[in-house]
Amino acid sequence: MQQITRDNANIIKNLISTKERIVITSHHNPDGDAIGSMLGLYHILTSMGYDSSMVIPNDIPDFLSWLPDSSKIIRHSKNKQAAAEAICNADLIFSLDYNSPSRLEAVKENFDQSKAVKILIDHHPYPEEAFTWILSETKASSTAELVYEFALILNAEMHIGHNAAMCIFTGIMTDTGSFSYACSNPRTFEIAAKLIAKGVKVEDIQQQVYNNFSESRMRLLGYSLESKMKVFPEYRSAYISLTYEELKRYKYQIGDTEGLVNYPLSIKNIIFSALFIENKNFVKVSLRSVGAFPANKVCEEHFNGGGHINAAGGKSFATMQETEAKFVEILKQYQKELNQ
Ligand code: 5GP
Ligand code: MN
């Protein structure tokens, strides 16, 4: 694995111009950064004159489906054959917004078997040894920000058109909670300003991403906060759990619980929040923290996952009830750190 810099930009440019089947991939349950980065890179490559296809393991949330050309993204869950063929035939694969092939879930096997040159663009710590080239920067707000930097490294700034700018802006905006966390580096705002100068309408993107709830999603939010949030002031923590039956009651669609885990952090003194969502074979765990408390460490040690220090995810293979009890035990274990 070798880090991509301006010094080896010509090698990367050469790879892009000589490889014929370029595939852009991102992680399971894609968020705004995953989809924004993919489409941002797709539009840049298209403007440079290169064809590429895009593959993800499962569905695109409704609040991102307005992004230009999102309908071109091949979803393995909907079209297994097309997804597998694209990956198996690829000679250059971009891996965006994930540091481990395991996050490709159902697409992982094809990815592992592929002989393609693999380029990682990502901001998660500790990328696995599965990639040929990496543009890996934990300090970046988002992968979308790194897609912008990647274009600059390739000397392709002029290929960031209006569509690419909208997608990249959406990635940065969603991964920073509308510029409220992981964005203390002036660079993030410099890039946002450049994107706005390229015609991004911030109000329109805010409107599309955040003011686009279905009625049932809004009511699920209300129900979650009123009836399902448990607060533990002594551990400065809170969690929300939602069972399969509850999700069904509120006509759950992928993306409907996006952002829900952040709400408890708005309570004074709460610095650690969890969201448990019951799936068919496991409970999906999302953790968020404020400051130095490491959500990723808790996920790695207890929930078969990982992520960033303040935003991490994983899985619990116990029942919902057991998962909640386990979480309370974990809080006890970390009482000192939580109260520092
Ligand atoms: P979310 O809670 O929104 O699903 O994920 C938050 C962050 O945690 C993601 O950006 C990603 O870095 C990480 N993450 C989520 N799920 C997993 C998982 O299953 N495994 C690992 N290693 N990281 C995850
Ligand atoms: Mn991200």
pLDDT in tens, 42-59: 999 999 999 999 999 999
156 half-sphere exposure, CB direction, 13 A CA radius: 28
Which class does domain 2-210 fall in? alpha beta
Our answer on whether the CB atom of 307 is closer than 6 Å to any ligand 1 atom is yes
Positive or negative, the CA dihedral 311, 100, 333, 257 is: positive
Among the listed residues 122, 102, 111, 116, the one whose alpha carbon sits nearest the alpha carbon of residue 4: 122
Confidence bin at 266 (pLDDT 50/70/90): very high
Confidence bin at 200 (pLDDT 50/70/90): very high
Please write the tens of the pLDDT for every residue from 212-253: 999 999 999 999 999 999 999 999 999 999 999 999 999 999
Find the 234 Cα to ligand 2 centroid distance in Å: 31
In the predicted model, what is the mean pLDDT of residues 108-124? 97
Are the C-beta atoms of 51 and 22 separated by less than 8 Å? yes
Which residues are close to ligand 2, an ion, with C-beta < 5 A? 33, 97, 142-143, 175
**Do the domains 2-210 and 215-338 sit in the same CATH topology, yes or no?**
no
CA angle, corner 260, sides to 123 and 179, nearest 5?
45
Confidence bin at 29 (pLDDT 50/70/90): very high
Q: For residue 258, which ligand has an atom nearest its CA?
A: 1
Please write the tens of the pLDDT for every residue from 269-323: 999 999 999 999 999 999 999 999 999 999 999 999 999 999 999 999 999 999 9
pLDDT of residue 5: 97
Find the 32 Cα to ligand 2 centroid distance in Å: 8
Closest atom of ligand 1 relative to the 33 alpha carbon: 10
Domain assignments of the chain as residue spans, ordered by start: 2-210, 215-338
Q: CATH for 215-338, among 2.170.190.11, 3.40.930.10, 3.10.310.30, 2.60.40.10?
A: 3.10.310.30
Task: Tell me which of 27, 33, 37, 297 to substitute to probe ligand 1's pocket, judged by most ligand atoms within 8 Å of the beta carbon.
Answer: 27
Q: For residue 37, which ligand has an atom nearest its CA?
A: 2
